[in-house]
Structure 1
Amino acid sequence: MKNTIITILEQKKKKDKITMLTAYDYSMAKLMDEAGVNAILVGDSLGMVMLGYEDTLSVTMEDMIHHTAAVERGTANAFVVADMPFMSYQTSVYDAVYNAGRLMKEGHANAVKLEGGASVCPQIKAIVEASIPVVGHLGLTPQSINALGGFIVQGKSEEEAEKLIEAAKAIEEAGAFAIVLECVPAKLAALISESIHIPTIGIGAGAGCDGQVLVYQDMLAMFSGFKPKFVKCFADVGRMMKDAFKQYIEETKASIFPGEEHAYKMDDDVLEKLSRRMKEGEEA
């Protein structure tokens, strides 16, 4: 069944948790879609996990369009949300609508996501009025990492918590159909979820949200080193991949691979005639 805005909104009403994962290419999107995930986020996290940038700030519109289009081609039922990259919407309402339109028209996204609270509500309103669905993003907003002072949990003080609640209500009023809550205390995220009518998708925001999203490289342990507290490793795919790569190297060097079962055959008579001709040519 194709996931749409209507089905996602209905999931909140039915208290049916929304499942979302990141994907950045056709093959991974196809696997997730076949597994039955409700939504796929083509996050600007691709800058770090796919392109090797230190943060998300260097991601361009062309990057997002390229990867979103690839993901869309791999989905049949999942709802595809594309991140609007840094400075693609902050500069003006016009830029926001224009770039959101590019993600829909060229990237074939089903919706766009942008970070920020009250300051981006004019952009959200204008994008929605252009018939483009919008997902908001509050809490730890990676595009504002320099202003926030690092990857820090947001909303821990009373004042910060009140601001997040008001921002969520403003985003809903502006027309967004869902909000991602990132690195927000679980009890606050649950309170926000109860305070608004649109779904909340949590990442590091506890089980009280209406759904969850994870970066697939994190949940599959495809990176070593830093692991956020909110990440659960569902399978050590990274280790399995490295083991497979090492086995491939060993078997290739030992001439174990490719084996006879991996090779194509030809008639011995043809080979014998070819060898004879080559030998005659050398003698001549």
Structure 2
Amino acid sequence: MPVMTIREAIRQALREEMQRDRRVFIMGEDVGAYGGTYAVTRGLYEEFGEERVRDTPIAESAIVGVALGAALGGLRPVAEIMTINFILLALDQIVNHAAKMSYMFGGQFKVPLVIRVPAGWGQLAATHSQTFEVYFAYVPGLKVVYPGTPYDAKGMLKAALRDEDPVIYIEHTALYPVRGEVPEGDYVVPIGKSEIKRVGRDCTIVTYGRMLQASLQAAEQLAREGIEVEVVDLRTLRPLDMEPVYESVAKTHRALVVTEEWRSFGVGAEVAARIQEHAFDELDAPVMRLGSREVPHPYNKHHERAVLPWPEDVVKAVKLLLR
């Protein structure tokens, strides 16, 4: 099976869907001749031309607004927002319009819109290093995906591009170089299905995005010490599939929720609440959460590392939970 990076898997999904369906087009800042801020769309401008790979002004509200109109008009736009920090400028178009259009008109309108948005950091300071997936996971009418492997990145983007509802597709910039197996040919990873990425017996880790890779690394280290953890990858944050989580907790009787967001009021808080509500009798210890320190993201390299969760933090949390 071919091995590729998440960046290559996303690009391959875009290319294959653009070849399959002429209604699919990309629009955003620097997506065309420049090849994308993170080189995800490199080569697509040359292959499909400026009508289907369209550079836009620096105007996030306009990018999403035009893409929404195109989706209502029968096209399948991919709106790329350069970073999730900038998506705040398009919240009205996303939350008040894209998410509600089909519902408010009794299903007469469909909104087959995909918004690709990188999240991440790298000494980019407080206003350029945030993680806002909870903003969108909170909103009925949106679908929110956050893949953590190349296989899922390609398959879930294909699913998003074929969906009739608006999908927020989040890519973590630190995951772009992560490599993994991606099968040749067409395949789709269904939206709204969690997956067990590693089987274990002692503790359940529930996670997604970059923290999936951190959790898998931690699991390998713990295994060398005789501790076997089970890792459940949510993959989709709305709709949230908790059944694999409950089944895992029924086996391990302990749960650690690992996210990169601030802990208060976040996705991790919702997951922990659902475990307590629906699997309380299976727990031998309270659900534990691990996330970023609740401060504005610092610029300083050492301070930045100190506020984020890493594999060694996951290891410490599991050992504390087992103790």
More helix by share: 1
Higher normalized contact order (CA 8 Å, seq sep 6+, divided by chain length): 2
Higher strand share: 2
- TM (norm. structure 1) is 0.31
